[in-house]
């Protein structure tokens, strides 16, 4: 018998067994099926960019752990796996310890990067404005707007690609657009 950690496995039982099958049948067989499946889900999410449950179900089946969508959904909730934006702006599953957002310490760099992207549109309604940005960029634009401390803007709320702004009463919209252009190019929708 050959030692495998603290496990002793007869050497002749390993003849002709593929390593992945050996690993799954020996090491994972010591854990219950749910624990094993949860570990495999974490390995897949941490090593690949998976954006849908269908993709994750296919990867689990490929790894030898076929399961249902309902079970996978419960597993994701138990592991606190959520969707977050990757560096390309796509929504993918992420483990809780993975960083979803990286704050750039030099805001001038942020402004330069965003100036290339611009704001897709701005619409006004009363003392409110809605800005649309490329996916994943609203929080950075809102951060820079808040730091500019424009008196015309009382506050912002940012989503993934949308910023909601509350404006001071009787704010001149054209003047506000001119000031916003100092932060990011603004395209105004009619």
pLDDT tens digits, residue range 146-160? 888 889 999 999 988
Residue 55 has which token pair? 């993709």
Element containing residue 153 per DSSP (H, E):
strand 153-158
Chain centroid to CA 4: how far?
A: 38
| Residue 187 to residue 190: CA distance in whole angstroms | 10
Question: Across residues 13-31, what is the average pLDDT?
Answer: 48
For position 25, what pLDDT does the model report? 47
* Rounded Cα distance, 84 and 114, in Å: 20
Quote the pLDDT of residue 14: 47
Q: CB within 8 A of 130, min separation 6: which ones?
A: 122, 123, 162, 163, 164, 165
Does residue 129 have a pLDDT over 60? yes
Range(s) for CATH 1.10.10.10 in the chain?
Answer: 25-94
Three-state secondary structure call for residue 166? strand
Q: Please give, one letter per residue, the 3-state secondary structure of 13-53.
A: HHCCCCHHHHHHHHCHHHCCHHHHHHHHHHHHHHHCCCCCH
Rg (CA), the chain: 25
Q: Where in the chain do CATH 3.30.1360.40 domains reside?
A: 107-188
* CATH T-level assignment (fold) for domain 25-94: Arc Repressor Mutant, subunit A (1.10.10)
Give CATH for domain 107-188.
3.30.1360.40
Of 20-34, 52-66, 76-90, 143-157, give the lowest mean pLDDT range: 20-34
pLDDT bucket at 116, cuts 50 / 70 / 90:
low
pLDDT tens, residue by residue, 157-188: 998 889 999 999 999 989 988 888 887 777 76
Residue 65 pLDDT:
86
CA 106 to chain centre: 22
Please give the DSSP secondary-structure letter assigned to residue 172. Answer: -
Average model confidence (pLDDT) for the chain?
Answer: 75
CA trace torsion 111, 116, 122, 128 (10° rounding): -10
Asked if pLDDT for residue 36 goes beyond 50, the answer is: yes
């Amino acid at each position: 018998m050959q030692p495998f950690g603290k496990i002793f496995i007869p050497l002749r039982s390993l003849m002709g067994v593929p390593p992945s099958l050996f690993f799954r049948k020996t090491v994972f067989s010591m854990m219950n099926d749910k624990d094993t499946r949860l570990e495999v889900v974490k390995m897949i999410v941490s090593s690949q960019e998976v954006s849908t449950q269908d993709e994750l179900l296919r990867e689990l089946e490929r790894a030898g752990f076929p399961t249902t969508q309902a079970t996978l959904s419960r597993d994701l909730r138990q592991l606190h796996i959520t969707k977050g934006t990757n560096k390309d702006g796509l929504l993918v599953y992420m483990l809780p310890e993975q960083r979803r957002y990286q704050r750039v310490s030099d805001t001038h760099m942020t402004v330069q990067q965003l100036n290339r992207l611009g704001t897709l549109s701005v619409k006004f309604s009363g003392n409110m404005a809605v800005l649309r940005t490329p996916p994943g960029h609203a929080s950075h634009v809102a951060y820079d707007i808040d730091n500019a401390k424009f008196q015309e803007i009382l506050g912002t709320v940012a989503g993934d690609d949308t910023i909601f702004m509350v404006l001071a009463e009787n704010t001149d919209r054209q003047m506000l657009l001119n000031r916003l252009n100092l932060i990011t190019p603004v395209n105004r929708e009619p």
